[in-house]
């Protein structure tokens, strides 16, 4: 196995739980990759909706527009341009909930709400995070004072490794649900994918430099039912959760990948060297 890890792919997800974008480079902001999960779908009460509840979100995509807006698209739907809503037009912010966090967000407007509601077949709304520097602190158990995150599950970036994916797929192939594999990396919805490591090397990372940006690797990523959702069809199986639960638990969690917090801003580029600092 190579002893020179490199960044092999970069992904960001303009709307939480919708299909992502693959890019050759991305700016790192304090709260994550530029444009990553600044939008979120919620129910009528402001509770987040993700693929956990609505796997059909995987079939919709959001592409970035100049100025921070998004182009929503899905099979059978008319594409919709959604501009960043102003506080004045939205008549202020609305409290939304991401897991236990109650935060302020800006409604995207009636047209966007109608689009996501039609796609899901239930009442839903689209929200934008206007001030990521102020809206949502990271869990203080793993962060420093003042560090914030977007609508991501909990941390600014998620890194995974190709070697660990190969290890999972090899285990699936040996199991009683071998027909569900091999799985692509998009099941895990990472931001950064690293090649040239040993399987599960990321479990031991504490501090890492990718290109010009240094990160604290603060927490193993416990996985949920989203990983069992085929991102192309929205159909669910049982893998990789079954295999991870049997073969790669850390504590009580089935784990794949590592959550990162940037120590400073910069730009990541596919092909960047990855250096394990601690």
The pLDDT confidence band at residue 89, using thresholds 50, 70 and 90, is confident
Per-residue pLDDT tens over the stretch 267-278 = 999 999 999 999
Per-residue pLDDT tens over the stretch 183-215 = 999 999 999 999 999 999 999 999 999 999 999
Per-residue pLDDT tens over the stretch 105-125 = 999 999 999 999 999 999 999
Task: From 244, 268, 225, select the one nearest 51 (Cα to Cα).
Answer: 225
pLDDT at 3 over 80: no
Please give the pLDDT value at position 76: 94
Would you call the peptide bond into 240 cis, given omega within 30 degrees of 0 as the criterion?
Answer: yes
How far is residue 205's CA from residue 63's CA, in Å, rounded to a whole number? Answer: 32
pTM over 0.85: yes
pLDDT at 2 over 60: no
Q: In what order do the strands lie in the sheet with 25-29?
A: 32-33, 25-29, 266-269
SS (H, E, C) 100-166: CEEEEEEECCHHHHHHHHHHHCCCCEEEECCCCCCCCECCCCCCCCCCECCCCCCCCEEEEEHHHHH
Per-residue pLDDT tens over the stretch 167-185 = 999 999 999 999 999 999 9
């Amino acid at each position: 196995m190579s002893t020179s890890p490199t960044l092999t792919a970069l992904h960001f997800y303009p709307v939480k739980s919708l299909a992502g974008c693959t890019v050759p480079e991305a700016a790192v902001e304090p709260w994550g990759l530029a444009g990553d999960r600044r939008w979120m779908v919620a129910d009528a009460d402001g509770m987040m909706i993700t693929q956990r509840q609505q796997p059909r979100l995987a079939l919709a995509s959001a592409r970035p527009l100049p100025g921070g807006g998004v182009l929503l698209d899905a099979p059978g739907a008319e594409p919709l341009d959604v501009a960043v809503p102003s506080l004045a037009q939205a008549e202020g912010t609305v409290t939304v909930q991401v897991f236990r966090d109650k935060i302020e967000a800006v409604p995207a407007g009636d047209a966007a709400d109608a689009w996501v509601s039609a796609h899901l077949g239930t009442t839903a709304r689209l929200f934008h995070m206007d001030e990521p520097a102020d809206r949502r602190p990271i869990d203080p158990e793993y962060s420093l004072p003042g560090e914030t995150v977007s609508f991501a599950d909990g941390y600014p970036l998620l890194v995974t490794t190709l070697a660990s994916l190969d290890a999972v797929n090899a285990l699936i192939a040996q199991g009683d649900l071998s027909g569900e594999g091999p799985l692509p990396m998009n099941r895990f919805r990472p931001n950064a994918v690293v090649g040239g490591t040993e399987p599960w090397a990321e479990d031991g990372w504490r501090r890492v430099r990718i290109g010009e940006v240094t990160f604290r690797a603060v927490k193993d990523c416990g996985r949920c039912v989203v990983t069992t959702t085929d991102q192309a069809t929205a159909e669910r199986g049982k893998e990789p959760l079954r295999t991870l639960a049997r073969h790669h638990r850390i504590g009580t969690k089935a784990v794949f990948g590592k959550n990162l917090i940037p120590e400073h801003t910069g730009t990541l580029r596919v092909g960047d060297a990855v250096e394990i600092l601690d």
